[in-house]
Structure 1
Amino acid sequence: MTTTPEPTGSSSATSPAESPQAPDYGVLRWLVLATFIVILNETIMINAIPRLTEEFDVTTRSAQWLTSGFLLTMAIVIPTTGWFLQRVTTRQAFGSAMAVFCAGTLLAALAPTFGVLVAARVVQAAGTAIMMPLLMTTVMTIVREQDRGRIMGNVTLAISVAPALGPTVSGGILAIGSWRWLFGAVLPVAVLITWIGLRNLAVGGETNQGAIDWTSVALSAFGFGPLVYGLSQLGEGSGTGPSWLPAAMLVVGALSLGAFVARQLRLQRDGVPLLDLRTLLHRTYALSLGLMALAFMAMLGSMILLPLYLQGVRGLSELQTGLLVMPGGLAMGLLGPQVGKVFDRVGARPLIIPGAVGMLVGLALLTQVGATTPYALILAAHVLLMVSLAAVFTPVFSLGLGALPPHLYSHGSSLLATLQQVAGAAGTAVVIAVVSSRETGLLADGAGEIAARVGGTQWGFGVGAILAVVVVAIAVLMPGRVPSSYDEEATEPEGLEWGTGERVVAD
């Protein structure tokens, strides 16, 4: 999928981004649609949890692993996609990812037991983990710089809007059918997109057949896996396991990640790193990574919390909950491409800074929800939050990946996608932990059940508001446009090997 980059400044280099003739971006629509479908499944199970606890006779704690396991699998698999996407063509990567996803979806629709359903979700997540970096890397490889904002708006539709629409889609399906239709409705669409995409994607493409460092794969698994597991266990409260287990998992995860980072730094000098951490030496990319992680934490945390509040405090049904959050998801989706066009004309700062402030205001409004808060106010706050996130995500994606040299696109997109999943799991865990702690404290003080839930909800949204404050601070530091030359941010010395088996020499 990847090609060898020409030396910077070479007169013979003519990349797709520099071609005077506008390239055909038609193939991207199938990648965007496929990515939308697979990522939609990240949150599609949220509204089905009460049904599943009854049908399979499992606790809510166990049922939550249908979402947590999905995130956990993605966090483990995504770090390997940097190597995978360099080893295969775009068509091969697309076909492999969608085949795995469709197999997992079919297995989930037919799952006879809860254990099989969890395993099917793991298979689904493995396919999804490939699609996200594949889409972002393809965009950065074939799209001209002057078109990236517009195209990245469509990418935002897939990566950011799909999770927001998950509860809405599931609410509508659950209102008329079994939870199995959450997968049965998705499967034929995924198969059709796969067939059309394979017909339209080019067969050829230069690849890099370098070996993968399996020690790095193991360290990433023992790092991200226990880290996400430990955070989710802390968020879910005490369970049947020993009380020290979550903290122990966090320690194991942190130590393994430390070893993973150390090994990548060594492999960057004399080998092939699984994730090239020199992406972090590019200031704009590093800032974008931090901003995206915090914004995604706030987004996913609030997205989990709002349905719990609407159903647990206000007594709304699954369908009613889905309909209430639908306008925000739709607004985010419709604005994504428009934000990209505005970004192409005026740059990032006029979008990112107001978007970050709007995100803060929306979450601050949600901290004031109570047992009788007008639904119109809740709807307005949610729409403001989603619109603000749309204004943030598209330019941040474009700026971050655009600041990297081409041979680091796959590594940059893999690191960005990995951190998103870890951040989403962390945001959910922290919000649930804060909500649970606040509810327990209020109940101990003699508050009623509804009052305790309201108090916990307010504190949970407060976590998101605090994260939004940091997002605003980072937004102020972001540049207005992608640097004219990605070399202006790099600090590596001339001739440094990038772990691709080639040497980059600056003119």
Structure 2
Amino acid sequence: MTARPNAQAPVDVKRAPIMISLIIGAFFAILNETLLNVALTDLMAEFGVTHSTIQWLSTGFMLVVGILIPITALLSGWFTTRQMFLGAMILFTIGTIISGFAPNFSTLLVGRLVQASGTGLLLPVMMNTILIIFPPEKRGAAMGMMGLVIMFAPALGPTLSGLIIEALNWRWLFFIVIPFAVFSIVFAMIFLKNVSELTKPKVDVLSILLSTVGFGGIVYGFSSAGEGDAGLTNPEVYITIIVGFISLILFVLRQLKLKEPMLDVRAFKSPMFALTTVLLIIVMMSMFSTMIILPMFLQSGLLLSAYVAGLALLPGGILNGFMSPIAGKLFDKFGPRALIIPGSVLLVIVIWQFTTVTTTTSLTTFIVLHSLLMIAVSLIMMPGQTNGLNELPRRYYPHGTAILNTLQQVAGAIGIAFFISIMSNSSIRYIENTDPSTVANIQAEAMTVGVQGAFKVALAFAIIGFILTLFIKRTKAPIEE
């Protein structure tokens, strides 16, 4: 057989309709990850549930996404691009309808989990399709457009949620999404073409079980740790995490033995892909330290409303969405180092500045720092991800995208639990070691100490990330027989 560049894009495929289909569907699917956050207080009152119970609307969503993404590498060998996308969007739409009309909390939770099933299937399909239809020299711009969706949608969620709830009620958070989701399905049915090749790999039930317990256990464990006071010392949390890690190790060992692995971890033999994976995990954890802690500090420390706190984070989300396509085009022209290294330097500087914030820090300062943080993330995330995936042979595309998306979900869950735990423990220690009579507002002081402590640890992660970027090199698509 004649050797050919494995990354060669199909020449007879119209890329614009495919990209439009993916962007519309992905935007509203990913928007729902954060759209419900501001409404949680209203939902607690309406359904009469506690804070720990209502958190399942977020934790359950993340858990299902974390479980499903690894399986997409297997599903993409059995179902076409068109079938995968339409199936994902139909699931998402059904979940949205169930949630909007939910008469009780249990029904709402079921709707959210069905929504998450669609989202979990959709994310890797997007990236895998881009790798197939675009040659390496044009992938940066395409991935940048996806970056706009992936980063801007969740950033817009809290602000949009605040506006809708103020004018209507929480059910409209779902009703407004339904027509856009239906439009995405109809548009895709007309314009979306199949671009993937069906290999129909053998279905290994044990691999699916180990993957589900492994990734699901880790995501659930760390997500639960971020909710309760006991944190990682809660037996339910650390036992779940341990079982998850053991299952994950067994899963990896099994994949290395199988001729047709469900998730081919041999992708890590590509040096830049392996380096990119570690870098993105570190960046995701650093970013989550800010995305989770900052809104809490704005509300508890600066005493802002949830709506105002959401508005304060909006400029950063808009800037990130604006910068992602630009970063993609610059990546195509100048390569990864020209973007990733400056981005990591900016990330270190911004998080260092966050270690000095107090309750007297102006809201403008928070907005500026958050905006700079999101610019830094846009310079690192998509260029790094594109560069790492470009090094993989074509047969590894579904596996590489599934690996990156899964580990980003896991990193997000770990980041939330880890940094909230640091913030809480630092605050508690400050209160225990301080005489209340000597501090006018001990709770605000304790919150400040906790936030600064969390950002100091995040700074260490950011510095490690910067060191890793020094080893980044531009990759070339390999040749396959």
Q: State the TM-score, normalized to the length of structure 2.
A: 0.94
Contact 2:391 2:478 in 1 (8 A): yes
Partners of 2:184 and 2:464 lie apart in 1 by 39
Deviates more, 1:237-246 or 1:171-180: 237-246
- 1:323 and 2:316 matched: no
Unaligned runs of 5+ in 2: 437-441
- What SS is found at the alignment partner of 1:407? helix
- 1:116 and 2:132 matched: no
Match of 1:290 in 2: 278
1:385 maps to amino acid:
L
After superposition, give the CA deviation of every residue in 1:305-353 in whole Å (9 maximum; x if it has no partner). Answer: 2111111221212221121110000000011111111111111111000
1:197-276 aligned at under 5 Å gives the runs 197-202=188-193, 206-238=197-229, 243-267=234-258, 271-276=259-264
Partners of 2:38 and 2:455 lie apart in 1 by 19
Contact 2:89 2:181 in 1 (8 A): yes
Deviation of 1:210 after TM superposition, in Å, equals 2.5
After superposition, give the CA deviation of every residue in 1:159-179 in whole Å (9 maximum; x if it has no partner). Answer: 233223222222222222212
Contact 1:164 1:303 in 2 (8 A): no
Match of 1:453 in 2: 447
Deviation of 1:221 after TM superposition, in Å, equals 1.1
Partners of 1:307 and 1:317 lie apart in 2 by 10
Match of 1:346 in 2: 334
Deviation of 1:240 after TM superposition, in Å, equals 12
Match of 2:177 in 1: 186
Deviation of 1:461 after TM superposition, in Å, equals 2.6
Give 1 or 2: higher helix fraction: 2
C-alpha change, 1:464 and 1:161, in structure 2 (3 Å) is: farther
Partners of 1:14 and 1:454 lie apart in 2 by 50
Contact 2:158 2:307 in 1 (8 A): no
- 1:54 and 2:45 matched: yes
1:165-176 aligned at under 5 Å gives the runs 165-176=156-167
Match of 1:473 in 2: 467
C-alpha change, 1:14 and 1:175, in structure 2 (3 Å) is: closer
Deviation of 1:474 after TM superposition, in Å, equals 1.4
C-alpha change, 1:340 and 1:107, in structure 2 (3 Å) is: same
Deviation of 1:409 after TM superposition, in Å, equals 0.3
Number of residue equivalences: 475
Match of 1:372 in 2: 360
Deviation of 1:247 after TM superposition, in Å, equals 1.4
C-alpha change, 1:61 and 1:443, in structure 2 (3 Å) is: farther
Contact 2:129 2:196 in 1 (8 A): no
Partners of 2:212 and 2:346 lie apart in 1 by 36
1:486 maps to amino acid:
P
Match for residue 424 of structure 2 among 426, 431, 436: 436
Deviation of 1:421 after TM superposition, in Å, equals 0.6
Contact 1:279 1:412 in 2 (8 A): yes
Q: Percent of aligned pairs with the same residue?
A: 36
Match of 2:29 in 1: 38
Deviates more, 1:275-284 or 1:231-240: 231-240
- 1:401 and 2:389 matched: yes
C-alpha change, 1:244 and 1:22, in structure 2 (3 Å) is: closer
- What SS is found at the alignment partner of 1:236? coil
Deviates more, 1:23-32 or 1:241-250: 241-250
Match of 1:486 in 2: 478
1:8 maps to amino acid:
A
Deviates more, 1:126-135 or 1:446-455: 446-455
Deviates more, 1:169-178 or 1:332-341: 169-178
Partners of 1:22 and 1:202 lie apart in 2 by 8
Partners of 2:152 and 2:277 lie apart in 1 by 18
C-alpha change, 1:204 and 1:400, in structure 2 (3 Å) is: closer
Contact 1:172 1:322 in 2 (8 A): no
Match of 1:497 in 2: none
Match of 2:377 in 1: 389
- 1:75 and 2:63 matched: no
Contact 2:7 2:393 in 1 (8 A): no
Match of 2:439 in 1: none
- What SS is found at the alignment partner of 2:148? helix
Contact 2:207 2:254 in 1 (8 A): yes
Deviates more, 1:326-335 or 1:45-54: 45-54
1:120 maps to amino acid:
G
Partners of 2:260 and 2:7 lie apart in 1 by 27
1:15 maps to amino acid:
Q
Contact 2:7 2:394 in 1 (8 A): no
Unaligned runs of 5+ in 1: 1-5, 488-503
Deviates more, 1:230-239 or 1:131-140: 230-239
Partners of 1:43 and 1:397 lie apart in 2 by 23
1:109-188 aligned at under 5 Å gives the runs 109-188=100-179
2:465 maps to amino acid:
V
Cα RMSD for the two superposed structures: 2.2
Q: State the TM-score, normalized to the length of structure 1.
A: 0.89
Partners of 2:51 and 2:401 lie apart in 1 by 34
